[in-house]
Every structure is written in structure tokens, then in C-alpha cells.
């Protein structure tokens, strides 16, 4: 069974310098029917104007994944860590007992486009930690690439949850499959393009919640990039 969530059904916040779409309730956007999906709590698609962003602010007991699509993100935290993330770069922040960090568009002229994803941890009060990785387009073609995982398989960054985030790029007409273990569910989000998911067409920004399914089959009707969350 798949429940579709269309792109235009997401929450939307436009502050001029920030254009954000919320798949689940977040900040001032509240939708009691979309509070999350299993431990998946937040999928925000954000565009930051040149030089704009958020100053130091706190997080705790959350696995936060930032995935840069275009532009450059400059970040800093209260432990002294800092850096710049560019397209294909991924940051995992296990907030644990608490961190303060800032994030902003590193460019004075270009817009920044990213996803920020929150997954609730299965372990509370862990020591905070950061990790960064990069996935090239070639690593995402012809297969599922593991972004983060509760097992850290295939060299992916570890998160404190029995969950995985996978991504793939499909060419026109290409298909991709993913098998769900018994008792698992999945959330599929189309980053770009158009794909059929188990026979139902999803376009850019659309998503599908899949439950009581054993197999997920994607078929691309346009060049596409897709995120897939394998969840308890």
C-alpha cells in the first residue's frame, strides 16, 4: 500500500531569503496528519539566498542529515568544527546531549539548495558527533548508494537508528528495485525528474509512504534522482 504526498501538498515558507518546503510538520507549519513517518521526522527542501542563513542555534537527541544539491553551505559548531559543503556533500550531525551550530549560504551571489533531514534516534543522550561524506553522480548511477545507515554498511556514515537513507540516479527508461524486510516500511521522495513507484507516477517533490510492501520498483520516465528511506 502506498500513500502519495504531492509536492504542492507540502508546507511552504517563503521569507524572501529562504524558500522552504516541509514534508512534515515543522516550525510554524503544523499538519497533524503529517507529523513524520516512523522515526523519519523532518524532510525540508530549503533554498537560501546569497549570504543568508541561520546563526548559532541548539539541537539535541536528533540525527540530522544535510544533503547539498547546488551551491555551498558554510557551517560552524560550538566544538570548533567548521567547513563548507558543496554539491554531493553530506553532513551527519548526531546531536545527542546537545550541540550549537550555524549554517549559511557561503556565496554572496548564488543561491543554495539543500535537503535537511531529521531522524529520531533510538539512543538518547549519546555524545554529539559530526561526519561528512561525498557521493559523486557516478556513485549514484546504476545502483542504490547508501547515504547513512544504522549499520554503517558500505562505508556509509552511522546513525543511532535502525534506518537507512539511500539515493540513486536513473536515466530515462531505467528501473531500480529495493526489497523491504518483513515489518519494514519505506518513504520514497523524488528529488528531481519523474518515476513510477510500484506503478504510480511521482514527479519532482512528490513522495510515497509504502507500508505492507515487500518490493519497491522504480521506473524512470525522465532522468531522475530519488531518495529512499528504509525504516522500522
Looking at the predicted structure, is the pLDDT value of residue 57 above 90? yes
pLDDT per residue as tens digits for the range 179-225: 999 999 999 999 999 999 999 999 999 999 999 999 999 999 999 99
Looking at the predicted structure, is the pLDDT value of residue 14 above 90? yes
Looking at the predicted structure, is the pLDDT value of residue 80 above 90? no
Q: Hey, what domains does the chain have and what are their CATH numbers?
A: 10-134 (2.60.120.10), 137-231 (2.60.120.10)
Instruction: Report, as an integer, the average pLDDT of 37-52.
Output: 98
Looking at the predicted structure, is the pLDDT value of residue 81 above 80? no
Looking at the predicted structure, is the pLDDT value of residue 34 above 80? yes
pLDDT per residue as tens digits for the range 164-192: 999 999 999 999 999 999 999 999 999 99
Q: What is the pLDDT of residue 176?
A: 98
Distance of CA 212 to the CA centre of its chain: 23
Query: Of 18-22, 54-58, 117-121, which gets the smallest average pLDDT?
Result: 54-58
In this structure, what are the phi and psi dihedrals at residue 138, rounded to the nearest 5 degrees? -65, -30
pLDDT per residue as tens digits for the range 126-135: 999 999 999 9
Sheet holding 112-119, edge to edge: 11-14, 18-22, 40-48, 112-119, 63-70, 89-94, 129-134
Q: What is the pLDDT of residue 226?
A: 98
Q: What is the pLDDT of residue 149?
A: 97
Q: What is the pLDDT of residue 12?
A: 97
> What is the C-alpha separation between 227 and 116, in angstroms, rounded?
12
Mean pLDDT (the chain) is 96
Looking at the predicted structure, is the pLDDT value of residue 78 above 90? no
Looking at the predicted structure, is the pLDDT value of residue 32 above 90? yes
Looking at the predicted structure, is the pLDDT value of residue 41 above 90? yes
Q: What is the pLDDT of residue 24?
A: 98
* 54-88 as b/e: b if 16+ CB within 10 A: eeeeebebbbbbbbbbebbbbbbbeeeeeeebebb
Amino acid at each position: 500500500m502506498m500513500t502519495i504526498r504531492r509536492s504542492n501538498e507540502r508546507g511552504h515558507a517563503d521569507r524572501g531569503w529562504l524558500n522552504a518546503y516541509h514534508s512534515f510538520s515543522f516550525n510554524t507549519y503544523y499538519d497533524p496528519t503529517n507529523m513524520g513517518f516512523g522515526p523519519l521526522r523532518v524532510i525540508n527542501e530549503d533554498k537560501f539566498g546569497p549570504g543568508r542563513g541561520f546563526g548559532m542555534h541548539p539541537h539535541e537527541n536528533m540525527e540530522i542529515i544535510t544533503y547539498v544539491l547546488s551551491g555551498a553551505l558554510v557551517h560552524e559548531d560550538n566544538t570548533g568544527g567548521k567547513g563548507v559543503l558543496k554539491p554531493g556533500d553530506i553532513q551527519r550531525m548526531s546531536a545527542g546531549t546537545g550541540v550549537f551550530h550555524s549554517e549559511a549560504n557561503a556565496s554572496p551571489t548564488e543561491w543554495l539548495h539543500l535537503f535537511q533531514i531529521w531522524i529520531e534516534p533510538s539512543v538518547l543522550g549519546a555524545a554529539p558527533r559530526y561526519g561528512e561524506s561525498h557521493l559523486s553522480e557516478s556513485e549514484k548511477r546504476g545502483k542504490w548508494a547508501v547515504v547513512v545507515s544504522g549499520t554503517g554498511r558500505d562505508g556509509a556514515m552511522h546513525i543511532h537508528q535502525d534506518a537507512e537513507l539511500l539515493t540513486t540516479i536513473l536515466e530515462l527508461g531505467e528501473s531500480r528495485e529495493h526489497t523491504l524486510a518483513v515489518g519494514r516500511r519505506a518513504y520514497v521522495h523524488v528529488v528531481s525528474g519523474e518515476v513510477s513507484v510500484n506503478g504510480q507516477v511521482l514527479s519532482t517533490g512528490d513522495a510515497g509512504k509504502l507500508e505492507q510492501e515487500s518490493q519497491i520498483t522504480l521506473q524512470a520516465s525522465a532522468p531522475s534522482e530519488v531518495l529512499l528511506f528504509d525504516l522500522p
